[in-house]
Amino acid sequence: MTQQRDIERLLDRWFSDGPSQAPDRVMDIVTDRIERQSQRPAWRLQGRPFSVNAYVKLAVAAAAVLIVAVVGYNLLPGQSTNLAGPAPTASPTAAPTAPSTRPSPSASFPAWFTPESGSDGAGILSSGRQTTRSFSPAFTYTVPAGWVNHSDSTYFGLFRDTSANQAEFARSGETADGIFMGFVDSPYFVCKGLENNRGTAAEMAAAAAANDILVVSDVADVTVGGLTGKRFDVRIDPNWDGNCPGDPPGSDYADGRTRVFLLDVPGRGVLVIFLGSLHAAGHEAFLAQAMPIVESFQFNIGQ
Protein backbone atom coordinates (compact mmCIF):
# COMPACT_ATOMS: atom_id res chain seq x y z
CA MET A 1 0.00 0.00 0.00
CA THR A 2 1.30 3.47 -0.82
CA GLN A 3 2.19 6.05 1.82
CA GLN A 4 -0.54 8.34 0.52
CA ARG A 5 -3.20 5.65 0.95
CA ASP A 6 -1.91 4.81 4.42
CA ILE A 7 -2.26 8.45 5.45
CA GLU A 8 -5.73 8.64 3.88
CA ARG A 9 -6.84 5.57 5.87
CA LEU A 10 -5.59 7.19 9.09
CA LEU A 11 -7.48 10.37 8.32
CA ASP A 12 -10.65 8.41 7.46
CA ARG A 13 -10.51 6.71 10.84
CA TRP A 14 -9.86 10.05 12.49
CA PHE A 15 -12.90 11.61 10.82
CA SER A 16 -15.09 8.65 11.78
CA ASP A 17 -14.03 8.99 15.44
CA GLY A 18 -15.20 12.62 15.47
CA PRO A 19 -12.52 14.44 17.52
CA SER A 20 -11.55 18.04 16.89
CA GLN A 21 -7.84 17.34 17.27
CA ALA A 22 -5.55 14.89 15.50
CA PRO A 23 -4.87 11.87 17.74
CA ASP A 24 -1.33 11.14 18.79
CA ARG A 25 -1.21 8.00 16.64
CA VAL A 26 -1.74 10.08 13.49
CA MET A 27 1.12 12.40 14.37
CA ASP A 28 3.36 9.48 15.39
CA ILE A 29 2.77 7.53 12.18
CA VAL A 30 3.18 10.55 9.92
CA THR A 31 6.40 11.41 11.75
CA ASP A 32 7.57 7.82 11.31
CA ARG A 33 6.76 8.01 7.58
CA ILE A 34 8.85 11.16 7.27
CA GLU A 35 11.80 9.68 9.16
CA ARG A 36 11.79 6.43 7.15
CA GLN A 37 11.13 7.95 3.73
CA SER A 38 13.73 6.89 1.18
CA GLN A 39 15.70 10.02 0.44
CA ARG A 40 17.18 11.52 -2.67
CA PRO A 41 18.83 14.28 -0.66
CA ALA A 42 20.06 17.61 -1.84
CA TRP A 43 23.20 17.58 0.25
CA ARG A 44 25.27 14.81 -1.25
CA LEU A 45 27.08 13.85 -4.40
CA GLN A 46 24.50 11.28 -5.41
CA GLY A 47 20.76 11.05 -5.94
CA ARG A 48 19.32 14.36 -7.09
CA PRO A 49 21.76 16.90 -5.68
CA PHE A 50 20.20 19.74 -7.65
CA SER A 51 16.59 19.72 -6.40
CA VAL A 52 14.54 19.80 -3.22
CA ASN A 53 15.05 16.47 -1.48
CA ALA A 54 12.26 13.97 -0.97
CA TYR A 55 12.54 14.25 2.82
CA VAL A 56 11.67 17.94 2.78
CA LYS A 57 8.87 17.46 0.26
CA LEU A 58 7.31 14.65 2.30
CA ALA A 59 7.51 16.69 5.49
CA VAL A 60 5.77 19.63 3.81
CA ALA A 61 3.17 17.38 2.23
CA ALA A 62 2.43 15.60 5.50
CA ALA A 63 2.06 18.89 7.34
CA ALA A 64 -0.25 20.17 4.61
CA VAL A 65 -2.41 17.02 4.82
CA LEU A 66 -2.83 17.43 8.56
CA ILE A 67 -3.61 21.14 8.32
CA VAL A 68 -6.18 20.59 5.58
CA ALA A 69 -7.71 17.73 7.55
CA VAL A 70 -8.06 19.78 10.74
CA VAL A 71 -9.56 22.75 8.90
CA GLY A 72 -11.82 20.55 6.76
CA TYR A 73 -13.17 18.63 9.75
CA ASN A 74 -13.97 21.79 11.66
CA LEU A 75 -15.87 23.18 8.67
CA LEU A 76 -18.22 20.18 8.54
CA PRO A 77 -21.88 20.89 9.50
CA GLY A 78 -22.33 20.88 13.24
CA GLN A 79 -18.65 21.28 14.01
CA SER A 80 -17.15 24.26 15.74
CA THR A 81 -14.86 26.44 13.65
CA ASN A 82 -12.97 27.48 16.78
CA LEU A 83 -9.48 26.10 16.13
CA ALA A 84 -7.63 28.24 18.66
CA GLY A 85 -9.68 30.69 20.65
CA PRO A 86 -12.65 32.86 19.55
CA ALA A 87 -13.50 33.08 15.87
CA PRO A 88 -11.93 36.18 14.29
CA THR A 89 -14.14 39.18 13.65
CA ALA A 90 -14.75 39.89 9.98
CA SER A 91 -12.78 42.84 8.70
CA PRO A 92 -13.75 45.04 5.77
CA THR A 93 -10.08 45.07 4.72
CA ALA A 94 -8.95 42.08 2.69
CA ALA A 95 -6.07 40.13 4.22
CA PRO A 96 -2.80 40.26 2.26
CA THR A 97 -2.23 37.34 -0.06
CA ALA A 98 0.65 35.05 0.86
CA PRO A 99 3.46 34.94 -1.71
CA SER A 100 3.00 32.14 -4.23
CA THR A 101 5.56 29.35 -4.43
CA ARG A 102 4.32 28.20 -7.81
CA PRO A 103 6.38 28.68 -10.93
CA SER A 104 5.48 31.90 -12.68
CA PRO A 105 3.00 31.50 -15.55
CA SER A 106 5.66 33.12 -17.72
CA ALA A 107 8.32 30.57 -16.75
CA SER A 108 9.19 28.12 -19.51
CA PHE A 109 11.40 25.05 -19.22
CA PRO A 110 13.10 22.77 -21.73
CA ALA A 111 10.60 20.33 -23.22
CA TRP A 112 12.48 17.40 -21.68
CA PHE A 113 12.42 18.78 -18.11
CA THR A 114 9.56 18.76 -15.60
CA PRO A 115 9.99 21.21 -12.69
CA GLU A 116 9.07 20.11 -9.21
CA SER A 117 5.95 21.48 -7.58
CA GLY A 118 6.66 24.56 -5.47
CA SER A 119 10.06 25.19 -7.03
CA ASP A 120 9.11 28.74 -8.12
CA GLY A 121 11.89 28.67 -10.71
CA ALA A 122 12.18 31.34 -13.37
CA GLY A 123 12.73 28.71 -16.08
CA ILE A 124 14.91 29.35 -19.11
CA LEU A 125 17.02 32.44 -18.47
CA SER A 126 18.10 35.07 -20.92
CA SER A 127 21.79 35.94 -20.90
CA GLY A 128 22.80 38.73 -18.55
CA ARG A 129 22.13 39.88 -15.01
CA GLN A 130 19.43 38.01 -13.06
CA THR A 131 17.77 38.55 -9.66
CA THR A 132 16.41 35.82 -7.41
CA ARG A 133 12.64 35.65 -6.93
CA SER A 134 12.10 34.11 -3.47
CA PHE A 135 15.37 32.71 -2.13
CA SER A 136 16.72 34.39 1.01
CA PRO A 137 19.12 36.09 1.19
CA ALA A 138 18.30 37.59 -2.19
CA PHE A 139 21.14 37.91 -4.67
CA THR A 140 21.93 38.86 -8.23
CA TYR A 141 23.97 36.77 -10.65
CA THR A 142 25.03 36.72 -14.28
CA VAL A 143 24.49 33.81 -16.69
CA PRO A 144 25.24 33.22 -20.37
CA ALA A 145 22.52 31.85 -22.62
CA GLY A 146 21.41 28.27 -22.15
CA TRP A 147 20.95 28.16 -18.36
CA VAL A 148 17.73 27.21 -16.55
CA ASN A 149 16.61 28.23 -13.06
CA HIS A 150 14.54 25.29 -11.80
CA SER A 151 14.20 26.24 -8.13
CA ASP A 152 14.06 29.59 -6.34
CA SER A 153 12.30 29.17 -3.01
CA THR A 154 13.75 27.32 -0.01
CA TYR A 155 16.50 26.11 -2.33
CA PHE A 156 18.05 27.64 -5.43
CA GLY A 157 19.17 25.65 -8.44
CA LEU A 158 20.54 26.09 -11.95
CA PHE A 159 21.41 23.71 -14.77
CA ARG A 160 22.36 24.03 -18.44
CA ASP A 161 20.07 22.87 -21.21
CA THR A 162 22.47 20.26 -22.60
CA SER A 163 22.17 16.87 -24.23
CA ALA A 164 24.02 15.35 -21.26
CA ASN A 165 21.47 16.71 -18.80
CA GLN A 166 18.61 15.66 -21.05
CA ALA A 167 19.94 12.12 -21.38
CA GLU A 168 20.52 11.77 -17.64
CA PHE A 169 17.08 13.17 -16.85
CA ALA A 170 15.47 10.65 -19.21
CA ARG A 171 17.50 7.82 -17.65
CA SER A 172 17.25 8.61 -13.94
CA GLY A 173 15.18 11.75 -13.42
CA GLU A 174 18.33 13.61 -12.41
CA THR A 175 20.39 16.26 -14.14
CA ALA A 176 23.99 15.24 -14.82
CA ASP A 177 25.45 18.62 -13.73
CA GLY A 178 24.07 21.56 -11.85
CA ILE A 179 24.43 24.33 -9.26
CA PHE A 180 22.47 23.94 -6.06
CA MET A 181 22.39 26.04 -2.89
CA GLY A 182 20.57 26.36 0.41
CA PHE A 183 20.89 26.32 4.19
CA VAL A 184 21.33 23.05 6.08
CA ASP A 185 22.62 22.31 9.58
CA SER A 186 24.68 19.28 8.58
CA PRO A 187 25.33 18.90 4.85
CA TYR A 188 26.74 15.56 3.77
CA PHE A 189 28.62 14.68 0.63
CA VAL A 190 28.52 10.88 0.35
CA CYS A 191 26.76 9.25 3.30
CA LYS A 192 24.57 10.92 5.89
CA GLY A 193 25.00 8.05 8.33
CA LEU A 194 28.79 8.31 8.24
CA GLU A 195 29.26 12.07 8.25
CA ASN A 196 28.72 14.74 10.89
CA ASN A 197 29.49 18.12 9.36
CA ARG A 198 28.23 20.84 11.70
CA GLY A 199 29.16 24.26 13.00
CA THR A 200 30.75 27.09 11.05
CA ALA A 201 31.98 26.86 7.49
CA ALA A 202 35.52 26.20 8.74
CA GLU A 203 34.33 23.50 11.15
CA MET A 204 32.29 21.76 8.44
CA ALA A 205 35.25 21.80 6.06
CA ALA A 206 37.55 20.39 8.76
CA ALA A 207 35.07 17.60 9.56
CA ALA A 208 34.81 16.62 5.90
CA ALA A 209 38.60 16.63 5.47
CA ALA A 210 39.02 14.36 8.51
CA ASN A 211 36.47 11.81 7.29
CA ASP A 212 38.04 8.58 6.00
CA ILE A 213 35.32 7.96 3.40
CA LEU A 214 35.99 11.28 1.62
CA VAL A 215 38.77 12.73 -0.46
CA VAL A 216 38.83 16.49 0.13
CA SER A 217 41.22 18.66 -1.87
CA ASP A 218 42.06 22.28 -2.63
CA VAL A 219 40.64 23.67 0.63
CA ALA A 220 40.81 27.46 0.54
CA ASP A 221 39.38 30.55 2.17
CA VAL A 222 36.90 32.24 -0.12
CA THR A 223 34.67 35.28 -0.40
CA VAL A 224 31.56 35.13 -2.58
CA GLY A 225 29.24 38.08 -2.98
CA GLY A 226 30.24 39.59 0.37
CA LEU A 227 30.07 36.31 2.33
CA THR A 228 33.20 34.54 3.57
CA GLY A 229 33.84 30.86 4.17
CA LYS A 230 35.54 27.80 2.70
CA ARG A 231 35.80 26.18 -0.71
CA PHE A 232 36.96 22.65 -1.52
CA ASP A 233 36.51 19.76 -3.91
CA VAL A 234 35.15 16.47 -2.59
CA ARG A 235 34.58 12.93 -3.83
CA ILE A 236 34.22 9.51 -2.30
CA ASP A 237 37.51 7.82 -1.39
CA PRO A 238 38.12 5.21 -4.12
CA ASN A 239 39.71 2.94 -1.49
CA TRP A 240 36.62 2.93 0.70
CA ASP A 241 34.76 -0.33 0.26
CA GLY A 242 32.06 0.12 2.89
CA ASN A 243 28.32 0.60 2.52
CA CYS A 244 26.26 3.65 3.31
CA PRO A 245 23.43 2.72 5.73
CA GLY A 246 20.07 3.11 4.01
CA ASP A 247 21.38 3.12 0.45
CA PRO A 248 20.07 0.49 -1.97
CA PRO A 249 22.29 -2.60 -2.32
CA GLY A 250 24.80 -2.21 -5.12
CA SER A 251 24.82 1.60 -5.03
CA ASP A 252 27.98 2.99 -6.62
CA TYR A 253 28.72 6.68 -6.14
CA ALA A 254 32.44 6.66 -6.90
CA ASP A 255 32.04 8.66 -10.11
CA GLY A 256 30.45 11.74 -8.53
CA ARG A 257 32.38 14.99 -8.19
CA THR A 258 31.43 18.18 -6.33
CA ARG A 259 32.95 21.58 -5.72
CA VAL A 260 31.61 22.92 -2.44
CA PHE A 261 31.29 26.46 -1.10
CA LEU A 262 30.45 26.87 2.60
CA LEU A 263 29.61 30.49 3.40
CA ASP A 264 28.92 31.85 6.88
CA VAL A 265 25.77 33.98 7.01
CA PRO A 266 25.41 35.91 10.30
CA GLY A 267 22.29 34.84 12.13
CA ARG A 268 21.38 32.20 9.54
CA GLY A 269 24.05 29.51 9.65
CA VAL A 270 26.03 28.18 6.69
CA LEU A 271 24.95 28.66 3.09
CA VAL A 272 26.01 25.61 1.08
CA ILE A 273 26.65 25.83 -2.67
CA PHE A 274 27.26 22.66 -4.68
CA LEU A 275 28.65 22.57 -8.20
CA GLY A 276 27.97 18.91 -8.70
CA SER A 277 28.39 16.30 -11.41
CA LEU A 278 27.10 12.75 -11.33
CA HIS A 279 29.92 11.70 -13.69
CA ALA A 280 33.58 12.67 -13.43
CA ALA A 281 34.21 12.85 -17.17
CA GLY A 282 32.33 16.10 -17.68
CA HIS A 283 33.04 17.74 -14.34
CA GLU A 284 35.99 19.96 -15.27
CA ALA A 285 34.18 21.31 -18.33
CA PHE A 286 31.13 21.97 -16.17
CA LEU A 287 33.20 23.84 -13.57
CA ALA A 288 34.63 26.08 -16.30
CA GLN A 289 31.06 27.15 -17.13
CA ALA A 290 29.63 27.23 -13.60
CA MET A 291 32.40 29.00 -11.68
CA PRO A 292 31.91 32.41 -13.37
CA ILE A 293 28.24 32.28 -12.38
CA VAL A 294 29.02 31.62 -8.71
CA GLU A 295 31.73 34.28 -8.76
CA SER A 296 29.12 36.76 -10.03
CA PHE A 297 26.85 36.28 -6.97
CA GLN A 298 26.13 39.46 -5.04
CA PHE A 299 24.14 38.84 -1.88
CA ASN A 300 21.80 41.26 -0.16
CA ILE A 301 23.25 40.58 3.28
CA GLY A 302 20.66 42.69 5.06
CA GLN A 303 17.73 40.51 3.96
Cα(95)–Cα(79) distance, integer angstroms: 25
pLDDT score, position 155: 92
What secondary structure letter does DSSP report for 86? S
Q: 81 falls in which pLDDT band (50, 70, 90)?
A: very low
CB crowding 169-182: b at 16 or more within 10 Å, else e: beeeebbbbbbbbb
> Which of 34-38, 150-154, 227-231, 243-247 is predicted least confidently?
34-38
Sheet with strand 139-143: strands edge to edge: 128-131, 139-143, 298-299
Q: Please state, for a pLDDT cut of 70, what percent of the chain lies above it.
A: 64
Arithmetic mean of pLDDT over the chain: 76
Q: Is the pLDDT assigned to residue 247 strictly greater than 60?
A: yes
Cα(173)–Cα(87) distance, integer angstroms: 46
Q: 24 falls in which pLDDT band (50, 70, 90)?
A: low
**Every domain of the chain and the residues it spans:** 3-74, 120-299
pLDDT score, position 190: 85
CATH class of the domain defined by 120-299 = alpha beta
What kind and span of H or E run contains 232? Answer: strand 227-236
Please say whether the dihedral angle defined by the alpha carbons of residues 8, 103, 176 and 220, taken in this order, is positive or negative. negative
Query: How many Cβ atoms are within 10 Å of 140's Cβ, its own excluded?
Result: 14
Q: Is the pLDDT assigned to residue 10 strictly greater than 90?
A: no
Q: 268 falls in which pLDDT band (50, 70, 90)?
A: very high
pLDDT score, position 118: 75
Does pTM surpass 0.85? no
Q: Is the pLDDT assigned to residue 225 strictly greater than 50?
A: yes
Q: Is the pLDDT assigned to residue 246 strictly greater than 60?
A: yes
Q: 89 falls in which pLDDT band (50, 70, 90)?
A: very low
| Beta partners for residue 120, in sequence order | 151
Q: Is the pLDDT assigned to residue 256 strictly greater than 60?
A: yes
Q: 250 falls in which pLDDT band (50, 70, 90)?
A: low
